[in-house]
Amino acid sequence: MKINNPNASMNPGVLVSFIVVAISFTLVQLFYAGMVRPAAEQLVNAEGTIALSSLWVILNGVEQQICISLMLVCIFLMAYKIWRLVDEEAIYSQDFLAEHDKSEPLNVNLALSQLESSKYRENPALATWISCIRRFKHTKNVQHAADAIESSVDNVSAQLESGNNMVRFLIWAIPSLGFVGTVRGIGQALAQADDALAGDISGMTASLGLAFNSTLVALLISVLLMYVMHLLNSRQDAMVLKIQGSCEKNLLSHLHN
């Protein structure tokens, strides 16, 4: 197990995030320029309004392109967090003082020094142990140490929630962009009302298709991301419970002696 970024929010670094954003938008732009737009234009020219139900035509649009780009970024952020949770799963229920005999009184200073010198000391599980032992060192009271566990676990949970703010923003922003496409499409359709009254409804139909397609794509993406977000939240809740259970089972048994 290798912990590259021990912060409790479990977010990738700023540089990595920026690179992922750039790659996502570039790949989607290439995909649209090379496949989506040419295929959509070919279908519309060949089939007219019948082609509006085609997948390529539904995907064709600036708003749809941006939504797909943001979807890739959002999936990366959530996948990174889930990978971290799975990769570090063993550490959350680990007894960090397993080499200390539970039948002997715990050398608090030695244990604290050992944990604080670890390069993983900012990992949520290890940070909870350190906080609890520090409280016990100052108070010599096991109940106060137990209270420190609850406080530290609540802090970990708050950091995880705070770390998901960008993901929640993207999940909110994607359907909003879809509605922007709807407003833009309806505006374009109204601008061609005179042509429609004259008998040419092709322009209005295409604009209305853009309006509804952008919302359709955005909402489908949002549903997918919400499901992945549900999986992420379940994993994070399980991690918090494992940290609390490990402290109550292993750490307090060391302190009771």
Beta carbons of 108 and 132 less than 8 angstroms apart? no
Dig out the tokens for 186 from the structure: 């309806």
User: What's the pLDDT band for 193 if we cut at 50, 70, 90?
Assistant: low
What is the mean predicted confidence (pLDDT) over 214-220? 91
Identify the residue whose tokens are 């085609």: 54
- 3-state secondary structure string across 111-177: HHHHHHCCCCCCCHHHHHHHHHHHHHHHHCCHHHHHHHHHHHHHHHHHHHHHHCHHHHHHHHHHHHH
Residue-level pLDDT at 176: 92
What is the mean predicted confidence (pLDDT) over 183-209? 65
User: What's the pLDDT band for 21 if we cut at 50, 70, 90?
Assistant: very high
Give the alpha-carbon dihedral of 205, 210, 216, 222, to 10 degrees. -170
DSSP-derived letter for residue 54 is S
Task: Compute the distance between CA of residue 247 and CA of residue 127 in angstroms, rounded to an integer.
Answer: 11
Tell me, yes or no, if the pTM score tops 0.85: no
Task: Compute the distance between CA of residue 207 and CA of residue 198 in angstroms, rounded to an integer.
Answer: 17
Task: Compute the distance between CA of residue 40 and CA of residue 34 in angstroms, rounded to an integer.
Answer: 11
pLDDT digit string, tens, across residues 162-191: 889 999 999 999 999 988 888 887 776 676
Task: Compute the distance between CA of residue 182 and CA of residue 207 in angstroms, rounded to an integer.
Answer: 9
| Amino acid identity at 149 | I
| Amino acid identity at 240 | V
Task: Compute the distance between CA of residue 9 and CA of residue 99 in angstroms, rounded to an integer.
Answer: 30
User: What's the pLDDT band for 29 if we cut at 50, 70, 90?
Assistant: very high
